[in-house]
Amino acid sequence: MSRREFLKLAAIGGGALVVGGVARQVYNHNGRDFQPARAKAYLESIQASLTPETLPNIIIVLCDDLGSGDLESPAISTPNIKRMAFEGVSLTNFYASASVCSPSRAGLLTGRYPVRTLISTPLLSTDNPMNIVMDVLGRYSYDVQGIPKDEVLLSEVLHRRGYHTGLVGKWHLGGTPGYLPNDRGFDSFYGALWSNDDTPYAIYRDRQIVIPAPADEDFLTRNFTLQALDFIQSNKDHPFFLYLAHAMPHFPEHASPAFQGKSGAGLYGDAVEELDWSVGQILTTLKQLGLDDRTLVIFSSDNGPWMQGNPGYLRGRKLEWFEGGFRVPFIARWPGVFPPATTTDGLSMNFDLFVTCAQIAGAPLPQDRIIDGKDILPLLKGDAPSPHDTFFYYDTRTLVAVRYRNWKYTRLYLTDIAAYWPTQQGPFLFDLSTDPNESYSLLEEQPERAAELSAKLDAFEGEMKSNLRGWL
């Protein structure tokens, strides 16, 4: 090859990279429409309660990658979580708003589909080389550093109402100034900014590192639990919101020496049994402090299990859009308010918690944006059916499937059929009432129903394209 030919090819290649980079930036910036003044105006409209003694405490215990089937596995003992279910309400059709961590947490804290918040992929620490890979593959959507400042978080709402707010555990919604937990409504923070498989993995107290990387992950569940108990004790005379976001049983799994080798499910099972111990410590402390009847405790997971774990004998796992990736355990306990030992199959999602907790705290809901969540307090009390009949499944920013009542329709897309990956499979139509693990497509037998659900997907996709952020 002559020098002239080489330079010509290099110029063509460089031009292609520039064009590709520009196209990717346009794609990633399309629809972002930041409007931080909206959040400021809404939060300033919320008045602190004049009778804070009447506000109930709220605790959300969120596990990382826990499968709904893990709680029923004969290989794992979970007596405290089972006791919580016996004393409260379990939802068997409860969904994470995404099948992966950062988006699911964004949905929970904002009451909105994660794609509206622009958090559609897991966030990685600044030093993680996977950032480059994710960017090249186009998996980083919208080029955001953390949960946007125009989003309103549950912690901010409750803080304005007069709650003392604390996050213990995993944040995973931003790691730079302006996007840290203390910037987003949490009075106190003890935990990690990222997933436990990310580096450098350090433990923070508020804005300062207190355990430098690499932190000993064997003691994460124990330390997070002790910090949570200290928060409860310190705020026993004041309404509080505690978001206890455990790091386990996310890969790599860890458990303290006291729990290692205890379960019949390896280190994963040991980690789950230590989480069960943690739940027991929370419930015991509430009873000892006389806070039982004044405290709503919620237990759930951010998505289905990953490399290990039981997704409730459903098809799919974390990162997939089958039921095993999205459907997660949910237990709510509030003595004297929720009927004990109750199970309901009403459709509900983790973004319902924003609305439900805001309503419990007497806070007005935002009127300037679409809130996808609904108040499920009547459902939990047994007073009303689910306020939902539809749920949409996303893979990052791509709309993949819809559930309408008991029917689920999945577009032609990548699936879990490993031998043929990455070829596309589908579309599929499943009747989840008779086929909960999506084994038998009824597309040919029910073409009109498939067309109806396909039209729902097209309509919702059109709405999102015209108003991604959901501003009103």
Q: What is the pLDDT of residues 26-75, one digit of tens each?
A: 556 667 899 999 999 999 999 999 999 999 999 999 999 999 999 999 99
Q: Are 59 and 282 in contact (CB under 8 A)?
A: yes
Out of 343, 367, 389, pick the residue that ends a domain.
Answer: 389
pLDDT score for 202? 97
**In a domain? residue 50:** no
Instruction: Give percent of the chain above pLDDT 70.
Output: 92
d(CA 272, CA 269): 5
**In a domain? residue 5:** no
Instruction: Determine the average pLDDT of the residues in 98-115.
Output: 98
pLDDT bucket at 17, cuts 50 / 70 / 90? very low
**In a domain? residue 87:** yes
Residues 422 and 305 both lie in one domain: no
Out of 389, 419, 454, pick the residue that ends a domain.
Answer: 389
Residues 337 and 321 both lie in one domain: yes
Residues 138 and 73 both lie in one domain: yes
Out of 389, 415, 447, pick the residue that ends a domain.
Answer: 389
Residues 214 and 282 both lie in one domain: yes
Total tally of structural domains belonging to the chain: 2
The CB density around residue 47, as the number of other CB atoms within 10 Å, is 12
The catalytic residues are 101, 172
pLDDT bucket at 19, cuts 50 / 70 / 90? very low
**In a domain? residue 24:** no
The 10s digit of each residue's pLDDT in 129-180 is 777 777 677 666 677 889 999 999 999 999 999 999 999 999 999 999 999 9
DSSP assigned state of 93: T
**In a domain? residue 96:** yes
pLDDT score for 51? 96
d(CA 83, CA 280): 9
Residues 230 and 271 both lie in one domain: yes
Dihedral sign of CA atoms 315, 319, 321, 327 in order:
positive
Q: Are 352 and 376 in contact (CB under 8 A)?
A: yes
CATH code, 69: 3.40.720.10
User: Which residues, 6 or more positions from 445, have their beta carbon under 8 angstroms from its beta carbon?
Assistant: none
Give the predicted TM-score (pTM) of the model: 0.94
Residues 383 and 418 both lie in one domain: no
Residues 287 and 405 both lie in one domain: no
Residues 380 and 421 both lie in one domain: no
Q: Are 223 and 204 in contact (CB under 8 A)?
A: no
Residues 435 and 300 both lie in one domain: no
The 10s digit of each residue's pLDDT in 174-220 is 999 999 999 999 999 999 999 999 988 999 999 999 999 999 999 99
Q: Which residue has the tokens 């215990």?
A: 61
Residues 147 and 257 both lie in one domain: yes
CATH code, 405: 3.30.1120.10
Element (H, E) at 349: strand 348-349
**In a domain? residue 42:** no
Task: Supply the range of the domain harboring residue 264.
Answer: 55-389
**In a domain? residue 312:** yes
**In a domain? residue 12:** no
Give the rounded distance of the alpha carbon of 304 from its chain centre: 10
User: Which residues, 6 or more positions from 78, have their beta carbon under 8 angstroms from its beta carbon?
Assistant: 70, 71, 272, 273, 276
